[in-house]
Amino acid sequence: MTRIHLVARNNGAGLTRDLEILGRALVEAGFDLTVSAIGQGGLSRQIQLLALRAKVLWWRLREGAARGRFDVNLMDERVRPKYLPLARRNVLLPHPEWFKPEWKSYLGALDCVFAKTRHAVPIFEALGCRTEFVGFTSIDRRLTEVAREPVFFHLGGRSGNKGTQPLVDLWLRKPSWPMLTIVQRKPLKLPATIPANLRLITDYLDDEQLRILQNRHVFHLCPSETEGFGHHLVEGMSVGAITLVTDAPPMNEMVTRERGVLAAFARTGTQRLATTYFVDDAALESAVEHMLALDAGERRVLGQRARAWWEQNDREFRQRLVAAIHQLTSA
């Protein structure tokens, strides 16, 4: 049985989602899985990791082996050098926007990069990495028993890349529009008085509360500047929401005009290895007006297409991940 060591930071946000998704996919595929969730369990967890490394070192010295305890290290987002000797093969699933320059020196130790988006493939190929597109998926958030309302939702969370401020600014100019609920823990520029059609949730929400919000809102607004994958927009598609994204990679890999709404960008920037795309204010306003003009039938079709894409993407990601691991370990 192929032995997989999954390594990621347990940050209570997107990387925690990654751990759950990857762990479930690997176990269901029949791999022997060990998880190192960095930051999970405090001192006791660190003691366990030290014991694991000591055990592997002892094993290697005893056996005189040139291979590690695991067949594959799967490292999510960042290279962790201290774990490299633990496996025969080392794989990184990177997020270009968070890839630090100092990590480039470790790329030569990798056997492969598994790209979560097609946008990331040429970025890491240009750095000399063998790169395979495996894609990614989100957790299925659909609740069929929750009544849907033709109102708007935005999940900014703790990120500053989600395009939250342009949405706030737009709604401040449109007091007659339907309610926009924003879940955001990053500071925003706000007037002294917030209009009645803008609801800000800055307190912690448990997962069930958040899931109900995702299902209740027909329209999800996700004008991100950049994404490593985009859990919030793909989770929106899993519930069959009509999802708006910035018309730029990798966001428009997931959401297309056939299954969502796109808003053009006005300018670009950079964030580490990624290009950032800042949504155009006029295009954002026009896209929201388009969403408001959709009739019930059009909304239903877009929602069904979004859900169908989520199901297909989820299935194909699992197939690509397993195939990529088998190809790597059989070499």
Residue 52 burial by CB count (10 A; 0-12/13-18/19+): exposed, middle or buried? middle
Q: 92 and 165 in one domain?
A: no
What pLDDT shows up at residue 203? Answer: 92
Q: Is the pLDDT of residue 262 over 70?
A: yes
Question: Tokens in use for 133?
Answer: 């597109």
The span from the CA of 104 to the CA of 312, in Å, is 34
Three-state SS for 255? coil
Q: 252 and 201 in one domain?
A: yes
Q: 296 and 168 in one domain?
A: yes
The CATH number that applies at residue 23 is 3.40.50.2000
Indicate whether 223 belongs to any domain.
yes
Q: 284 and 159 in one domain?
A: yes
Average pLDDT over residues 198-206: 95
Q: Is the pLDDT of residue 127 over 90?
A: yes
What pLDDT shows up at residue 66? Answer: 44
Indicate whether 323 belongs to any domain.
no
The pLDDT tens digits for 22-33 are 999 999 999 999
Domain count, the chain: 2
**Structural domain boundaries, residue 33:** 3-133
Contact between residue 149 and residue 127 where contact means Cβ atoms under 8 Å apart:
no
The sign of the torsion formed by the CA atoms of 14, 15, 18, 23 equals negative
The span from the CA of 42 to the CA of 29, in Å, is 30
Q: 126 and 199 in one domain?
A: no
Q: Cis bond leading into 250, ω under 30°?
A: yes
